Amino acid sequence: MILTFLGTGEACDPDRANTSLLLESDSSYYLFDCGFTVPHAFFHHCQDPEQLKTLWISHFHGDHFFGVPLLLLRLWEMGRKGALQIISGTPAAEKIWPALELAYPDFKARLQFPVHFTQLKAGEKFSSQDLLYRSAATIHSQPSFAVKIEKDNRSFYYSGDGRATAEGEELMKGCDLIVHEAFTLEERMENHGSVASCLRLQQKCGYSSMALVHLARETRRAEKALTKILSDTKGIHLATDGEQLIL
């Protein structure tokens, strides 16, 4: 499996695309979050409209799902016929279809491929193309869910936005890679993770590899402090747009 960071930025970062992951497995693609800036990055990698099998949406803030109308439009334009599965921890259809109507009025009726919605509640499992999805709630300003993906004894965890819960920590155990948001340097926002909390997670649970995403612009600008904090910890790094990791 190949994991590509389509974006690593927060909502308003002018230098980085919105945080989004693209997993490639057996010539199929699986997308994780689709904010404002994500579709163009996705289609830079994917020229076959049938390759995308599922879209996971961690929560319904704009920088995590407002790219979906453009994603659907472009897949239609490319002639997609196969069904697209959209998975989320809370009901997605009531968010996706109104967003599509606002972006492209009356376009839903023109879609030539089915869109299926699956609500994956915390503790439940969902399988797609030999990938196993499991989720856990995070602590955020609206309902938000982390996801763990497993295939062939390899796994990764993606936090979406929010601080980790005890259930999330359980999901992280045994993962080959943790991708976690770290909005601030220190833990000063109750609805977001921080670099410091991610370091504590790694030390507490012994994760071998962790990539930090969704840092606030001010956090990234504190380069000296950030470098010093991370320099003493092995296996943890700041992910960059376009970076690829093999799982």
Q: What is the pLDDT along the chain (247 residues), one digit of tens a residue?
A: 999 999 999 999 999 999 999 999 999 999 999 999 999 999 999 999 999 999 999 999 999 999 999 999 999 999 999 999 999 999 999 999 999 999 999 999 999 999 999 999 998 999 988 899 999 999 999 999 999 999 999 999 999 999 999 999 999 988 999 999 999 998 888 899 999 999 988 877 777 799 999 999 999 888 778 887 787 778 889 999 999 999 9
**Pairing status of strand 236-238 against strand 244-246:** unpaired
Report the alpha-carbon distance of residue 10 to residue 12 in Å, rounded. Answer: 6
Which residues lie across from 133 on neighbouring strands? Answer: 126, 149
Vertex 156: Cα angle to 217 and 229 (nearest 5) = 40
Residue 107 has phi, psi (to 5 degrees) of: -75, -30
207 contacts 178 by C-beta, under 8 angstroms: yes
> What CATH number does residue 200 fall under?
3.60.15.10
**Pairing status of strand 28-32 against strand 20-25:** antiparallel
In a domain, 86, yes or no: yes
Neighbours of 235 (CB within 10 A): 13
In a domain, 21, yes or no: yes
244 contacts 4 by C-beta, under 8 angstroms: yes
In a domain, 17, yes or no: yes
In a domain, 162, yes or no: yes
The sign of the dihedral angle between the CA atoms of 32, 207, 17, 62 is positive
In a domain, 198, yes or no: yes
The sign of the dihedral angle between the CA atoms of 121, 122, 125, 130 is positive
Domain total of the chain: 1
In a domain, 224, yes or no: yes
Domain holding 107, by residue range, is 2-242
The enclosing H or E element of 137 equals strand 131-137
In a domain, 126, yes or no: yes
Per DSSP, the three-state class of 70 is helix
pTM across the whole model: 0.96
| Chain centroid to CA 97 | 20
In a domain, 247, yes or no: no
- CA atoms within a 13 Å half-sphere pointing along the CA-CB vector of 109: 2
